[in-house]
Amino acid sequence: MVNKARNEIKFGTDGWRGVISDNFTFDNVAVVAQAVSEWVKKDIKAVKGKRKSIAVGYDTRFLSKEYAAHFSRVLARNNIDVFLSDRPIPTPSLSYGVIERKCNAGIMITASHNPPQFNGIKIKTSLGGGAGLDITNKVEGYLGLKPVKIMDLEEALKSKKIKMHNYDSAYIKFMREYLDMAKVRKSKFRILTDVMHGSGGTLMAEVVGKANLQVDLMREDINPSFDGLKPEPVEEYVQGILSRMKREKFDLGLILDGDGDRIAAVAPGGEYINPQRILALLTVHLVKNKKRTGGAVKTTCGSKIMDHICKKYDMELFETPVGFKYISDLMITKRIVAGGEEAGGMGVQDYIPERDGTLAGLLLVEMMAYEKKNIKQILDEVEKEFGRYYYERSYVSVKANKAVMNKFGDLKTLLGKKVVEKMDYDGVRLTCEDESWLMLRPSGTEPLVRAYSESKSKKKAQELIHFGKNFLKRNK
C-alpha cells in the first residue's frame, strides 16, 4: 500500500498531476486526503479554541467536483472542518478564500493547463501561496501510512463537518476594492476575454458589473475536453481570439488558463503579448500610475526589459529560479510591487503571495483607463522607452548530463557576440554584450532540455534557439 501510493503519487513544483482513471483515481485522491489529514493533525500547531480547517475548491475538469467532495469526506472523517466550494472556481479564488476563512490550508482540484485527460491536486498554505517542498515532502511521507478514513457526504453536511461555501463573493469584493473601479467602469474600451473553458468563467465580467466598459467573453462555457487542446495561454492554443482581435474592434484581448491563475494578452490587430511583456506593463502601471514602491521579481528566463524598468524607477530587481513558488517566497519576505514568470503567472503587491490571471488582466484594463489609450499604444510607448525584446522558447528531447551543461557554460561567444555573463544555478544562461541571451535548462521530471532566448531582433532570438537545440543534439 505504502510503496504503491508513493510510486503513483509524486508532488512536483505545482502539486500532483495524474491521468484520470489511470493513476488519478478516487482511491488515490483519498490516499492523498488521508496524508494531508495526517500533516494537518501532526504538523500544524493547534490554536486554543479554534478547530483546524481546510478550504477545498475545484475547476471545470472532468470529475473535479466529485474528486473535491471525495477529498472533503476524508478530511471530515479526520475531524478537520471543510469549507467546500459550491461551484467551480479559479485557483486564486480558493487561495484568497484560505485567508478570508482563516483556514490552515487549501486544496484545489485542478490540473491547471495540462491536457484534458489530466487532473491534479494543489496544496495551498495558510497564507494562500503554493506549498513548498517542506510541506509536500511531509505529505508524501504520510502517503499510505494510515488506512483511509472516510465519512458519508450527507452525514458530513448534516453535522456541518463540511460546509458549502461561495468563495467568489469575497474574491470579487476584494478585486473591486483593489482596482480603481470608478476609472475602469467609466472607460469606454472593448475587452475580449478567452476563458479557455476554464474556471475563470464569467468572473471578469462580474467584477466589472454594469459599466461603460464592455467585456465580451469567449469559451466561458464548461467543456472538460477543452476543444481537444491544452487550456494553456500560448499562441498555438488561442488562434480563435487572435483571429477575432484581427477582425473585430477590441482594445485588449485577455486569455486565462484552465484554473485562472495564468494570463496572456492580445493587442488590437491580433498581436500576441507574451507574459514577459505583461510583467513589464504591470510594473510600469503600478509604479507610475498607482505610486506603489518596492522591488520587482523575474525568473532566470525573464526579460531584460525588467532591468531597464527597475533602473529608471530605482527598484531592486530580484531574480529567482523558474517556478512561481520562488516568487511567492519573496512576496512574503520582501516588499514586492510585481513578480512574474514566463509561463504567465503574475503576482502583485498587497495581495496573496500567489499568481492571479483575472486580477492581472483587470490591472491591464485599469492601466488603459489611466493612460486613456489602448494596450497597443501603451505597449509601443513602454517598449520605445525601455527596449523591444523578442523572446523565444523551445525544447529538445534529450537528457543533458552535467558535462554537456558545463561545456555549454564554457562557451565564450554566441553567434559571434562575446559572452559577458553566466548564470548556472538554474540551468545555464549565457548573456552577450548586446544583451541577447540563451538559456538551457534540463527538466527535473522529463528527459528533455528547455531552451529560452531573447534578443532585440526576432531573427536573432530564433537563431539563438536554433543554436541551442543543435548544441544539445550534437552533444547528447
Domain assignments of the chain as residue spans, ordered by start: 2-167, 179-386, 390-474
Q: What is the side-by-side order of every strand in the sheet holding 263-267?
A: 214-218, 190-194, 252-256, 263-267, 271-273
Mean pLDDT, residues 356-368 taken together: 98
pLDDT value for 46: 86
pLDDT value for 443: 82
CA dist 391 and 305 (Å) reads 11
CA dist 81 and 55 (Å) reads 9
CA dist 323 and 378 (Å) reads 28
Residue 24's pLDDT band, with cuts at 50, 70 and 90, is very high
pLDDT value for 145: 92
Q: What is the side-by-side order of every strand in the sheet holding 437-442?
A: 390-396, 449-455, 437-442, 428-432, 417-423, 413-414
Average pLDDT, the chain: 95
Report whether 281 contacts 364 (CB < 8 A).
Answer: yes
Report whether 325 contacts 303 (CB < 8 A).
Answer: no
pLDDT value for 243: 98
Q: How many degrees, rounded to 5, is the angle at CA 207 between CA 205 and CA 211?
A: 70
Report whether 156 contacts 76 (CB < 8 A).
Answer: yes
Cell numbers standing for residue 275? 507574459
Report whether 337 contacts 327 (CB < 8 A).
Answer: no
Residue 11's pLDDT band, with cuts at 50, 70 and 90, is confident
pLDDT value for 12: 78
Mean pLDDT, residues 71-80 taken together: 98
Q: Which range (43-47, 90-94, 175-179, 337-341) has the least confidence? A: 43-47
CA dist 124 and 131 (Å) reads 5
Q: Answer whether 179-386 and 390-474 agree in fold.
A: no
pLDDT value for 51: 94
Confidence check: pLDDT of 209 > 90? yes
**Which class is domain 2-167?**
alpha beta
CA dist 72 and 1 (Å) reads 21
Confidence check: pLDDT of 442 > 60? yes
pLDDT value for 1: 54
Residue range 83-108, pLDDT digits in tens: 999 999 999 999 999 999 999 999 99
pLDDT value for 2: 61
Residue range 263-294, pLDDT digits in tens: 999 999 999 999 999 999 999 999 999 999 99
Q: Which range (48-52, 109-113, 178-182, 364-368) has the least confidence? A: 48-52
Confidence check: pLDDT of 260 > 60? yes
Confidence check: pLDDT of 126 > 60? yes
Residue range 231-245, pLDDT digits in tens: 999 999 999 999 999
CATH number of 390-474: 3.30.310.50
Fold of 179-386: Alpha-D-Glucose-1,6-Bisphosphate; Chain A, domain 3 (3.40.120)
Partnered with residue 254 across adjacent β-strands are: 193, 265
Residue 7's pLDDT band, with cuts at 50, 70 and 90, is confident
Residue 445's pLDDT band, with cuts at 50, 70 and 90, is low
Q: Which range (285-294, 323-332, 449-458) has the least confidence? A: 323-332
Cell numbers standing for residue 63? 470529475
**295-299 and 16-19: which strand pairing?**
unpaired
Mean pLDDT, residues 2-25 taken together: 84
